[in-house]
């Protein structure tokens, strides 16, 4: 997080990364004395020459780590971007749960699992007491947020996140709305990252950048008579646990068949979807999801971990979306 201080008398701006750095210097410089205000401002700025800037461009959101094609530029798509500043979730932009989906037993999506503090979206998974459901089947508080806008299309999408240390997921993905899916006869899903901080059954989930795509056709059947589900995936080893530190997970959704994936700003994978069944498989507009859920194929999180606030929280620093526009 950064703060920009602008002084009209001196016609300069300072970008300060840490208020703890500037506060003692302000006190030392003697800002409490009005008659020496201009002099003391100069003194303070001289003490912080490495923060002084000709303008405030460094405080702006950076572009994606992808060069725009010739004749185009990247523009932030506000409907699917959030720096998570302030004290609460932006209710104009986000649902504080997942409309139409409760979660997977025993993990119920509840708004109380969602909070915004210290410039982060926090999703905390804890023990639910008393349990809910007819038979008490829901006993873990899980969390999900979803964009209210459902028009996300080709562009670049990225989050910076530190996963919890539980056997619950930390995810970043897109899906087309159910009503639209019925109209066009297919459900599309783009999974940019699916990980588990303390994965046990498949340990790779705790140290990999895992990408996946699903296209489920309602009017086409596979050889077993089930709805045809075309999927393609890729994975990249991060080199450490997903809960050890923050990482940037990004995807350039180029078009209906091509998706490039970026780990900490570096291109690491590409998924090319087959076109034999459908010439444009991933062509639907979608919404964005940040979800911490229970997987039915993974062991349940341990009770002690669910009680431990140092382990049970996923921290999303930001989510950003960019679209290409002609220059």
Return the half-sphere exposure (C-beta side, CA atoms, 13 A cut-off) of residue 228: 14
Q: Does domain 72-326 have CATH number 2.60.120.200?
A: yes
Residue 60 has a pLDDT of: 86
The tens digit of pLDDT for each residue in 265-291 reads: 999 999 999 999 999 999 999 999 999
Domain boundaries, the chain: 3-59, 72-326
Q: Could you report the per-residue pLDDT of 228-269, keeping only the tens digit for each?
A: 999 999 999 999 999 999 999 999 999 999 999 999 999 999
| Residue 186 pLDDT level (bands cut at 50, 70, 90) | very high
Nearest to 288 by CA among 85, 98, 89, 76: 98
Residue from 29, 31, 36, 1 nearest 17 by CA: 1
Tell me the CA end-to-end span of the chain in Å, nearest whole number: 30
As a whole number of angstroms, the distance between CA 194 and CA 161 comes to: 12
Instruction: Classify 298 as helix, strand or coil.
Output: coil
User: What average pLDDT does the segment 299-310 reach?
Assistant: 98
pLDDT of residue 291: 98
Q: Is the model's pLDDT at 184 over the cut of 50? A: yes
Average pLDDT over residues 106-119: 98
* DSSP 8-state symbol, 9: T
CA–CA separation, 117 and 3 (whole Å)? 16
Q: Which of 58, 61, 123 is nearest to 89 (CA)?
A: 123
Q: Which residues contact 327 (CB under 8 A, 6 or more apart)?
A: 71, 72, 73
- Residues identified as active-site: 189, 194
pLDDT at residue 220, as a whole number: 94
Nearest-Å Rg of the Cα atoms of the chain is: 23
Give the pLDDT confidence of 72-87 residue by residue, as tens digits.
999 999 999 999 999 9
CA pair distance 146, 158, nearest whole angstrom:
15
pLDDT digits (tens, 9 = 90+) for 120-139: 999 999 999 999 999 999 99
Q: What pLDDT shows up at residue 100? A: 96
Question: Cβ(140)–Cβ(108) under 8 Å?
Answer: yes
């Amino acid at each position: 997080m950064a703060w920009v201080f602008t002084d009209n008398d001196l016609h300069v701006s300072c970008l300060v990364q840490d208020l703890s750095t500037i506060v003692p210097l302000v006190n030392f410089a003697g800002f409490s004395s009005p008659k020496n205000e201009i002099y003391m401002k100069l003194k303070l700025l001289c003490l912080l020459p490495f923060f002084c800037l000709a303008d405030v461009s460094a405080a702006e959101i950076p572009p994606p780590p992808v060069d725009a094609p010739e004749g185009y530029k990247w523009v932030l798509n506000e409907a699917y971007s959030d720096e998570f500043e302030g004290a609460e979730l932006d209710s104009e932009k986000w649902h504080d749960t997942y409309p139409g989906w409760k979660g997977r037993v025993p993990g119920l999506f509840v708004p109380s699992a969602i909070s915004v503090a210290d410039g982060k979206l926090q999703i905390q998974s804890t023990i639910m007491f008393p349990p809910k459901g007819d038979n008490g089947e829901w006993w873990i508080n899980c969390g999900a947020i979803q964009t209210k806008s459902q028009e996300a299309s080709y562009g670049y999408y990225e989050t910076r996140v530190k996963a919890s240390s539980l056997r619950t997921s930390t995810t970043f993905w897109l899906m087309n709305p159910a009503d639209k899916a019925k109209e066009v006869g297919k459900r599309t899903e783009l999974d940019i990252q699916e990980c588990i901080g303390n994965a046990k059954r498949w340990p790779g989930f705790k140290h990999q950048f895992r990408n996946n795509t699903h296209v489920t056709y309602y009017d086409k059947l596979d050889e077993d008579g089930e709805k045809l589900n075309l999927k393609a995936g890729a994975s990249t080893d991060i080199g450490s646990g997903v809960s050890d530190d923050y990482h940037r997970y990004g995807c350039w959704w180029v078009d209906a068949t091509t998706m490039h994936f970026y780990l900490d700003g570096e291109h690491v994978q590409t998924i090319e979807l087959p076109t034999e069944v459908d010439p444009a498989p991933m062509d639907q507009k979608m919404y964005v999801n940040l979800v911490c859920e229970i997987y039915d194929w993974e062991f349940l999180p341990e009770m002690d971990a669910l009680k431990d606030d140092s382990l049970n929280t996923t921290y999303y620093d930001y989510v950003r979306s960019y679209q290409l526009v002609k220059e």
